[in-house]
């Protein structure tokens, strides 16, 4: 048995040596080589969204490195694509229109020699710039503009929003840009506490330099609301039942106090200003003191910096054991039932420094009651916060007992 194993190892090493020599030989061929490779033999193309897939027969050159393609876009820039020598198709992207383009298809060897070009005429499907531009919507929200768009191709795009308004008799203009490649996006241009109308234009661009014509989104006025007075709030006792649902116990830990969720103070690393709840889902009811029409909610997380598990300065922000996903309800006095408002997933910050994450956590996480069509709820005296999951594992984590502060916005019902 040992002899068999030794023989197998010897054969493997010998084969590896031969393969290495062959590959090394491929590179040795490139030394001093001035002979261009043969051109690939074009077979056909398949139109793609904003691109084309070229199919070809690979030339039989032992020092072949890649198959390449290039074309000149509408801005006069050269767009280039490449695939390794053992793949028989190549995707060319970045086309702005559904018109005929001439693509040059050629081969390159290890010495950098290029073959003669094979001109190929292609007509792509609709570009990502065009498809995204059609889906953009801008709607007024509370002290903000809500910008939404779809990117079904999940390509990198830039969405530029230019808006202007008159303030104190002077015209003011601002520019806001977002980059994304996710299928659906919603962003808020906030802190627009204006009474004047806002004019909005949106432009889409891609990484290839293609830009859509500015799209006029019209004029709109932002919505207004106010912070509800917490001095009028009261909370029921733990396990009191309203509409068939029990109130949570906010004293999950010895330092936790349920009344701290509306005392106006936000938990910091050195503080113990938070409520803690056991189990999932847990519920928090708030008696608003009068009937209100609700518009927005702001929640604050508990920030913990702890040993090995949460060693950084941002600690537990946007991570367990904080709530990352929750439901909102209003109580309907006529039916004596809780009415679902919306589910919220608090966005996890991406590509931010620790201090920027801390700043976000300190400011709190704002959500709109009706994000698709910002507006007010019907009048209600009771609000219910239902914690579902933490941020972990795609908002499926089950360790999320903490809430530091909750703030509601809206207007008093007539």
Position 27 pLDDT exceeds 60: no
User: What pLDDT score was predicted for residue 18?
Assistant: 41
| Sequence-ordered list of residues with C-beta below 8 angstroms from that of 285, at least 6 positions apart, any chain | 235, 236, 240, 242, 247, 382, 383, 384
Position 348 pLDDT exceeds 50: yes
Give the model confidence (pLDDT) of 56-75 as tens digits: 999 998 899 999 999 998 88
**CATH T-level fold of 226-412:** Jelly Rolls (2.60.120)
CA distance 132 to 148: 10
The residue-averaged pLDDT of 237-262 equals 94
Position 268 pLDDT exceeds 70: yes
Confidence of residue 14 (pLDDT cuts 50, 70, 90): very low
Q: How is domain 41-122 classified at the architecture level of CATH?
A: Sandwich (2.60)
Cα dihedral value 386, 390, 394, 396, nearest 10 = -70
Give the model confidence (pLDDT) of 151-188 as tens digits: 999 999 999 999 999 998 999 999 999 999 999 999 99
φ and ψ at residue 262, rounded to 5 degrees: -135, 30
User: What pLDDT score was predicted for residue 376?
Assistant: 98
CA distance 47 to 27: 35
CA distance 315 to 303: 6
The residue-averaged pLDDT of 368-379 equals 97
Position 209 pLDDT exceeds 80: yes
Confidence of residue 10 (pLDDT cuts 50, 70, 90): very low
Give the model confidence (pLDDT) of 100-127 as tens digits: 999 999 999 999 999 999 999 999 999 9
33 Rama class: left (phi>0) / alpha (psi -120 to 50) / beta: beta
Position 7 pLDDT exceeds 80: no
Fold identical between 128-220 and 226-412?
no
Give the model confidence (pLDDT) of 269-314 as tens digits: 888 899 999 999 999 999 999 999 999 999 999 999 876 566 678 9
Contact by Cβ (8 Å): 171, 182? no
Parse the chain into domains and list their residue ranges. Answer: 41-122, 128-220, 226-412
Confidence of residue 8 (pLDDT cuts 50, 70, 90): very low
Position 30 pLDDT exceeds 90: no
User: What pLDDT score was predicted for residue 11?
Assistant: 38
Name the CATH superfamily, with its identifier, for domain 128-220: Immunoglobulins (2.60.40.10)
More confident residue, 13 or 108: 108
Position 20 pLDDT exceeds 70: no
Position 25 pLDDT exceeds 70: no
CA distance 305 to 321: 12
More confident residue, 91 or 414: 91
User: What percent of the chain clears pLDDT 70, i.e. is strictly above it?
Assistant: 91
Q: What SS3 class is residue 250?
A: coil
Position 382 pLDDT exceeds 90: yes
The residue-averaged pLDDT of 356-368 equals 96
């Amino acid at each position: 048995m040992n002899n068999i194993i030794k023989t197998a190892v010897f054969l493997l090493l010998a084969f590896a040596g031969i393969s290495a020599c062959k590959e090394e030989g491929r590179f040795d061929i490139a030394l001093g080589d001035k002979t261009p490779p043969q051109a690939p033999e074009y077979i056909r193309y398949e139109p793609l969204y904003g691109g084309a897939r070229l199919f070809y027969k690979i030339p039989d050159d032992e020092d072949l490195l890649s198959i390449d393609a290039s074309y000149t876009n509408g801005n006069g820039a050269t767009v280039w694509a490449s695939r390794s020598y053992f793949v028989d198709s190549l995707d060319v992207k970045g086309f702005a229109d559904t018109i005929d383009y001439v693509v040059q298809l050629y081969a390159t060897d290890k010495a950098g020699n290029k073959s003669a070009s094979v001109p190929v005429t292609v007509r792509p499907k609709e570009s990502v710039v065009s498809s995204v531009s059609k889906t953009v919507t801008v709607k007024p929200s509370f002290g903000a503009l809500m910008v939404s768009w779809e990117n079904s191709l999940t390509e990198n795009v830039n969405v530029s929003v230019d808006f202007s308004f008159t303030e104190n008799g002077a015209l003011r203009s601002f520019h806001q840009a977002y980059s994304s490649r996710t299928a659906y996006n919603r962003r808020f241009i906030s802190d627009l506490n204006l009474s004047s109308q806002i004019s909005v234009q949106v432009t889409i661009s891609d990484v290839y330099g293609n830009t859509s014509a500015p799209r006029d989104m019209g004029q709109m006025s932002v919505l207004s609301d106010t912070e509800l007075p917490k001095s009028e709030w009261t909370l029921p006792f733990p396990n009191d039942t309203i509409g068939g649902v029990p109130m949570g116990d906010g004293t999950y830990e010895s330092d936790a106090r349920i009344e701290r969720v509306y005392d106006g103070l936000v938990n910091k690393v050195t503080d113990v200003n938070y409520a803690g709840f056991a189990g999932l889902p847990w519920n928090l009811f708030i008696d608003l003191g009068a009937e209100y029409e609700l518009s927005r909610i702001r929640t604050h997380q508990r920030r913990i910096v702890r040993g090995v598990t949460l060693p950084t300065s941002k600690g537990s922000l946007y991570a367990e054991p904080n709530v990352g996903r929750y439901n909102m309800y209003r109580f309907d006095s006529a039916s004596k039932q809780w009415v679902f408002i919306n589910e919220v997933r608090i966005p996890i910050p991406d590509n931010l420094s620790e201090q920027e994450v801390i700043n976000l956590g300190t400011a709190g996480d704002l959500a709109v009651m009706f994000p698709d069509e910002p507006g007010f709820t019907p009048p209600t005296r009771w609000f219910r916060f239902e914690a579902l999951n933490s941020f972990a594992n795609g908002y499926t984590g089950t360790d999320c007992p903490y809430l530091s502060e909750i703030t509601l916005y809206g207007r008093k019902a007539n």
